[in-house]
């Protein structure tokens, strides 16, 4: 079966083709122009998706040596995400399915990330623990099967990627903050400044807004209200923040490992590109003798390969969708996450 995947939930337009489980093409066009606004501008994002989606589909078909009529199933991200951006990929996918008379599967973006580990040669085994860490979400889940995903905890405020982005902005590193914090932290001492890890009623929940505020307080106390941070101090701040954020993520994952039957661990989403985070989870997996699956960098950020793969799995469960399906901005609709 040849599957076309489309992703347009935020600032990446992506088109992928998989043939059964083999990835033939995964093209990603990133909207770098948002940098100058310090964050994603939704309306500009929608327009950029609209401009690039047809050329990307043509290129993906060419790269896969296929014609549009060779596609058997069309999958597109339906949410969560920016509504205008989602509508571009979803409407396009539905229109293609209608004109080609092929089945269509709307895919939950988070479920796409959760399944990104399956794009690797070493695949996760059920039941596995997944940590989803992106710019919009921080979730700890157990994936029991293709139709049963149990939510243990999530962030009660900011997503971890959002905290990276906001702290980077605070100390003048720019957007997107994650990679910049990681780079700056390389020269820093992670134990230099003590930032707190939140303790919550649900032991699997996360909170990153307190950490962000702690960084702000530190800046105000050390450098006054103007917060003119000397360049030489940036590495220690970045390293201390980063290690505290990682500690919070590892801590909850470890609790889950102690309390649940789990065969493997998978860390997915944009923040899973973070090198010290990958190292920390490698150490955790080794400590508990579990298989660890962290996708290659290209599959950590938003991509259509994970959407095609997840859509295919949903299709295989027998679930079918009408083309009346609309985009949804939240995680609550049409998802197997409970």
- Contacts with Zn ion, residue ranges (CB under 5 A): 134, 302
CB of residue 80 to ligand KG4, shortest distance in Å: 9
- Cβ partners under 8 Å of residue 20, min gap 6: 1, 312
Longest alpha-carbon distance in the chain: 64
176 binds, among Zn ion, ligand KG4, none (CB under 5 to 8 A by kind): ligand KG4
β-strand partners of 26: 16
* Residue among 92, 104, 128, 164 that touches ligand KG4 (CB under 6 A): 164
Tell me if 136 contacts ligand KG4 by CB under 6 A: yes
Tell me if 80 contacts ligand KG4 by CB under 6 A: no
Nearer to ligand KG4, 172 or 203 (CB): 172
Residue 15 sits at φ, ψ, to 5 deg, of: -130, 130
Nearer to ligand KG4, 135 or 188 (CB): 135
Tell me if 271 contacts ligand KG4 by CB under 6 A: yes
Nearer to ligand KG4, 64 or 274 (CB): 274
Name the residue among 78, 28, 80, 79 with its Cα closest to residue 53.
Answer: 28
How far, in Å, CA of 328 to CA of 192, rounded? 43
Part of the chain binding ligand KG4 (CB under 6 A), chosen from 58-66, 171-179, 195-203, 329-337: 171-179
* Residue among 79, 93, 106, 269 that touches ligand KG4 (CB under 6 A): 269
Tell me if 112 contacts ligand KG4 by CB under 6 A: no
Tell me if 39 contacts ligand KG4 by CB under 6 A: no
- The stretches of 106-203 forming alpha helices (DSSP H) are 109-114, 160-170, 177-185
Name the residue among 256, 261, 260 with its Cα closest to residue 284.
Answer: 256
Part of the chain binding ligand KG4 (CB under 6 A), chosen from 33-41, 115-123, 202-210, 263-271: 263-271
Q: Please compute, for residue 98, the number of CA atoms within 13 A of its CA located in the half-sphere on the CB side.
A: 10
DSSP per residue, 224-263 = TTTT---GGGHHHHHHHHHHHHHHHHHHHHHHHHHHS--S
How far, in Å, CA of 160 to CA of 277, rounded? 12
Tell me if 89 contacts ligand KG4 by CB under 6 A: no
Strands 138-145, 291-293: pairing kind: unpaired
Nearer to ligand KG4, 82 or 262 (CB): 82
* Residue among 112, 117, 270, 295 that touches ligand KG4 (CB under 6 A): 270
Tell me if 182 contacts ligand KG4 by CB under 6 A: yes
For residues 267 and 278, the answer to whether their CB atoms sit within 8 Å is: yes
Tell me if 135 contacts ligand KG4 by CB under 6 A: yes
Give me the helix-helix angle, 234-259 and 177-185, nearest 10°.
110
Nearer to Zn ion, 114 or 257 (CB): 114
Tell me if 110 contacts ligand KG4 by CB under 6 A: no
273 binds, among ligand KG4, Zn ion, none (CB under 5 to 8 A by kind): ligand KG4
Residues lying near ligand KG4 in the complex (CB under 6 A): 10, 134-136, 161, 164-165, 176-179, 182, 269-271, 273-274, 301-302
């Amino acid at each position: 079966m040849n599957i076309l995947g489309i992703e347009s939930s935020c600032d990446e337009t992506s088109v992928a083709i998989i043939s059964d489980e083999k990835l033939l093409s995964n093209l990603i066009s990133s909207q770098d122009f948002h940098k100058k606004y310090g964050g994603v501008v939704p309306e500009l994002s929608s327009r950029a998706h609209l401009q690039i989606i047809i050329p990307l589909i043509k290129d993906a078909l060419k790269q896969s040596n296929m014609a549009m009529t060779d596609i058997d199933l069309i999958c597109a991200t339906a949410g969560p995400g920016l509504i205008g951006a989602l509508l571009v990929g979803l409407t396009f996918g539905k229109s293609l399915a209608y004109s080609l008379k092929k089945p269509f599967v709307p895919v939950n973006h988070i479920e796409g990330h959760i399944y990104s580990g399956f794009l690797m040669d070493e695949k996760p085994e059920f039941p596995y623990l997944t940590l989803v860490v992106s710019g919009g979400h921080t979730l700890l889940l157990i994936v029991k099967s293709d139709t049963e995903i149990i939510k243990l905890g999530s962030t009660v405020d900011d997503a971890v990627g959002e905290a990276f982005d906001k702290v980077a902005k605070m100390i003048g590193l720019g957007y997107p903050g994650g990679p910049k914090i990681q780079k700056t932290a390389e020269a820093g001492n992670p134990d230099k400044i003590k930032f707190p890890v939140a303790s919550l009623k649900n032991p699997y929940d996360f909170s990153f807004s307190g950490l962000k505020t702690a960084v702000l307080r530190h800046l105000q106390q050390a450098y006054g209200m103007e917060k003119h941070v000397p360049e030489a101090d940036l590495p220690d701040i970045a390293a201390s923040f980063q290690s505290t954020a990682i500690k919070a993520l590892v801590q909850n994952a470890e609790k889950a490992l102690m309390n649940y039957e789990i065969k493997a661990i998978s860390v997915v989403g944009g923040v899973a590109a973070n090198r010290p985070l990958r190292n920390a989870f490698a150490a955790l997996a080794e400590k508990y003798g579990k298989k660890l699956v962290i996708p290659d960098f290209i599959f950590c950020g938003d991509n259509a390969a994970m959407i095609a793969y997840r859509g295919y799995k949903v299709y295989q469960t027998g679930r079918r969708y009408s083309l009346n399906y609309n985009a949804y901005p939240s995680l609550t609709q049409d998802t197997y996450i409970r």
